[in-house]
A and B are shown apart, each in its own frame.
Chain A
Amino acid sequence: MWQIFKKEILELQRDRKTLIMVVLLPMIIMPIILGLIAAFAGQQQAKAQQKEFVYQIISQGGFEDFEKKMFYHKRFKKSDLQLSSEDEAKTAIREGKIDLVLFIPKKKTGTQHQWKIFRDESSTYELYLSKELHTALKGFEQKLTQSLLLAQGIDEKEHHAILDPIVIEEVDMSEGRELFGQLAGPVIAMLLISSCFMGASYPALDIGAGEKERGTLETLLISPTSRTAIVMGKFMTVMFTGLISTTLTILNMLFWSNIAASVFDIQKVQVILTQFSASDVIQLYVLMLPLAAVFASILCALSIYAKNYKEAQNYHSNVALPILFLPYVAMIPGFEMDASSAMVPILNTALATKELMKGTLEMNMMMLIFSSTLALAVASVFFCVRLFQKESVLFRT
């Protein structure tokens, strides 16, 4: 088994595709992709923050103060379009000529006024438009209310008590790490699980279906090595590369977090990073180890079963869908770990990683996840070994 493992590792390290998938992808390509996404998102945000929203007001008179306020607002720009009906307003918004149309009825003293706002809520900048508009409206509404109160003879000092009778001060009790884990934990879990799977996938293709296709598998089968030792050597190789890929992802995250924290002088991140200890890393590997074994055995089994490389690739991509989807469930707000979710493979590791990042992972829960995933790993390794004994699989053409 050791000889097979050594040979497989030697072969894989001389293969460019493996180096790309196992080393370059997590170390260089992933950060570049994430960096590009972050840069693009930042650019879009900056663009949205500077965008001027084109508006038009169809007013029957009386609210000139508001019209003036909107005219001088730095984020709003009055349109030159002459609109007179709702239909014209809808058409102008649909055609993208205008972002917002307000219908304001004639001001009447002592009555409630119903204003109508037309806008496209599916627009890219809707969130920003909504925020700016409601701030403007709220300010105007408050001024209007204050003038009404003054007219009623209520002293200005009492206005706050009437307008905002309760002022709430929220005190966040969460630790910095807990908040970090809650927000970043699911993303970190997803990155670690997917890197483990992706890092194992290509080597599994190469040493299973690849060997079959190249005709080298038969050479191994007729050597005085048991088939169990051969398949275990292959399994160990695939598991090893999966864990290497995970390790590189961890190192990568630490490296870029440190860089980002020092470059942008984010002290909060620096403080959180110092809160992680060697024990956390060990716990992370305790969680990832049986999962890497599950991935390695499933990927090896599929690769060995496949007639050729192409067929194995198809199997791998079909398996990748549910495997890469499950960690996303951990991102659903309010989805927390309990005894039943701790029994769902992959999802349990994702949830436990999130808890570990928060610093709230309980030992009994970790042991439950470790043992359930380990049981699955043992079963899938056994299945893989059994499959490798079958002539109908090994010589499947």
Chain B
Amino acid sequence: MLEVMGLAKAFQIKKKSLSDSEKSDPRYSETAFHSVRHVSFHCDPGEVIGVLGPNGAGKTTTLRMLSTALKPDQGTIRIAGQDVLQKPIEARRRIGFLSSSTGLYDRLTTQENIEFNAKLFGMSQQAVTQKSHALMSELNMLEFADKRAGSLSTGMKQKTAIARALMHDPDVVILDEPTSGLDILAKQTVLHFIDGLKQKGTPVLFSTHHMDEVDRLCDRVVIIAYGETIFEGTLAAMREFGRDDDLNNAFLNILADKGASYVADI
């Protein structure tokens, strides 16, 4: 189970004066940009949570904090009851991370990419060999196991990134816009992978702009705007709250309601 409470993160800025649009954005102050101000939600085992929000809402910063790449200024993150911020190195062993950019080393082969990452997680050579072979068979990757990542197709790269993220059997999987820029085949691979995790009971958190993916996979959604959680609930609750059966319209209505009133408060 993943619990996130009162997460906040600010970045120092060195601007002499703010533009008009920045002045109207409540996240800007004279010296800092408060990218995430108060984000809270939870994700139960076997649950897929969709993290939604307009561009620049603070989704990536939130996911980077959850993956421990960034350290929050405030708040707590717990994975299966263990505080991530207290022991980030141990927490990383429990997290699997995947993004659309894949982050593969072009000059390493598929197998080398997977094995290198697994060894960073402290896996023995024997365990690495066994697990990587099993995953590559499962994902039909054996034919390109010895090909360098730089020469792989987008779909092959995504499969490699998926295998890499699953090598250490993570307790939680975080996906930052994993289908962004992918063709239909590669996208299906990712969606199938998320489905598989759900079946296995692994909590999955993924940010996306595609409501069809949310509708197909998510149990609940978290909507972030101006660095704050403005909605958390089931898809049915989102439709009800957004006063529309179409998730796109419901999302826009929630943003308009919460976002607009929030801006007005400032």
Residues of A whose CB lies within 8 Å of any CB of B are 3-4, 7, 10-11, 14-15, 214-216, 218-226, 391-392, 395
Given contacts A7-B116, A222-B95, contact A216 B105 (CB under 8 A): yes
Residues of B within 8 A of A (CB): 11-12, 64, 67-71, 89-90, 92-93, 95, 97, 99, 101-108, 112, 116-117, 119-122, 148
If A14-B107, A224-B90 are given as contacts, then 16 extra A-B residue pairs at C-beta distance below 8 Å, sorted by A number, are A7-B105, A10-B108, A11-B108, A14-B148, A214-B103, A215-B99, A218-B69, A218-B103, A219-B117, A220-B120, A221-B69, A223-B117, A225-B89, A391-B71, A392-B12, A395-B70
Measured between alpha carbons, how far is A391 from B88 in the docked complex, in Å?
15
Compute how far the CA of A226 lies from the CA of B122 in the bound complex, rounded to whole angstroms. Answer: 13
Tell me how far the C-beta of A107 lies from the nearest C-beta in chain B, rounded to whole angstroms: 83
State which of A11, A223, A226, A392 has its C-beta within 8 Å of the C-beta of B121: A223
* Complex-state Cα separation, A224 to B93, whole angstroms: 6
Determine how close the nearest CB of chain B comes to the CB of A11; give it in whole angstroms.
Answer: 5
CB-based contact B107/A225 at 8 Å: no
- Are A224 and B120 closer than 8 Å at their CB atoms? yes
Q: Which residue of A216, A222, A225 is within 8 Å of B67 (Cβ)? A: A222
Contacts of A220 in B (CB 8 A): 120
A215 and B71 form a contact (CB under 8 A): no
Can you list 21 A-B pairs, Cβ within 8 angstroms, ordered by A?
Answer: A7-B108, A10-B107, A11-B105, A11-B107, A14-B148, A15-B107, A214-B105, A214-B106, A215-B103, A216-B104, A219-B97, A219-B117, A221-B68, A223-B117, A224-B89, A224-B90, A224-B120, A225-B89, A391-B70, A395-B64, A395-B69
Q: How far is the CA of A30 from the CA of B87 in the complex (A)?
A: 51
- B103 & A216 in contact (Cβ 8 Å cutoff): yes
Residues of B near A7 (CB, < 8 A) are 105, 108, 116
Q: How far is the CA of A224 from the CA of B84 in the complex (A)?
A: 12
A222 in contact with B68 (CB, 8 Å): yes
Q: How far is the CA of A351 from the CA of B2 in the complex (A)?
A: 61
Query: Are A3 and B119 touching (Cβ within 8 A)?
Result: yes
| Separation of A7 and B103 alpha carbons in the complex (Å) | 14
Complex interface: chain A residues within 8 A of B108 (CB): 7, 10-11
Which residues does chain A contribute within 8 Å of B121, judged by CB atoms? 223-224
Partner of A219, one of B12, B89, B103, B119: B103
- With A215-B103, A216-B103 as known contacts, state yes or no: A10 contacts B112, CB within 8 Å: yes
For the residues of A in contact with B, the DSSP-based class is: helix
Q: Which of A215, A218, A222 has the most CB of B within 10 A?
A: A222
Please give, as numbers and ranges, the residues of chain A lying within 8 Å of B92 by CB-CB distance: 222-224
Find chain B residues with CB under 8 A from A15 CB. Answer: 107
**Alpha-carbon distance A3/B120, docked complex (angstroms):** 7
Give chain A residues whose Cβ lies under 8 Å from the Cβ of B90.
Answer: 224
Q: Which residues of A contact B148 (CB under 8 A)?
A: 14
Distance in angstroms from B44 CB to nearest chain A CB is 23
The distance from the CB of A117 to the nearest CB of chain B, in whole angstroms, is: 67
A66 vs B63: C-alpha distance when bound (angstroms): 94
A10, B101: Cα distance in complex, Å: 22
Complex CA distance for A196 and B201, rounded to whole angstroms? 53
Give the complex CA separation of A215 and B180 in angstroms: 15
The residue in A11, A220, A223 that gathers the most chain B C-beta atoms within 10 A of its C-beta is A223
Q: How close is A94's CB to chain B, nearest CB, in angstroms?
A: 59
A226 pairs with B103, CB closer than 8 A: no
In contact, A225 and B120 (Cβ under 8 angstroms): yes
Q: Please report the C-alpha to C-alpha distance between residue A172 and residue B71 in the assembled complex, in whole angstroms.
A: 70
Q: Give every chain B residue within 8 A of A225 (Cβ-Cβ).
A: 89, 120
- Assess A3 versus B116: contact at CB under 8 Å? Given A224-B89, A224-B121, A226-B89: yes
Q: Which of A4, A224, A392 has its CB near the most chain B CB atoms (within 10 A)?
A: A224
| Chain B positions within 8 Å of A218 at CB level | 64, 69, 99, 103
Q: How far is the CA of A218 from the CA of B60 in the complex (A)?
A: 12
Is the pair B103, A224 in contact by a Cβ cutoff of 8 Å?
A: no
Chain B residues with CB under 8 Å of A219's CB are: 97, 103, 117
Closest to A229 in B: B120
Q: Kindly provide the distance from the CB of B247 to the nearest chain A CB, expressed in whole angstroms.
A: 29
For residue B56, give the distance in angstroms from its CB to the closest CB of chain A.
Answer: 13
Chain A residues whose C-beta falls within 8 Å of the C-beta of B102 in the assembled complex: 215
- Looking at the assembled complex, report how far the CB atom of A216 sits from the nearest CB atom of chain B, in whole angstroms: 5
Which of the listed residues A219, A220, A225 has the most CB atoms from chain B within 10 Å of its own CB? A219
B14 to A: closest C-beta gap in Å: 10
Bound form: Cα–Cα A255–B2 in Å: 63
- CB-defined contacts of A215 to chain B, threshold 8 Å: 99, 101-103
CA distance A222 to B112 in the complex (A): 18
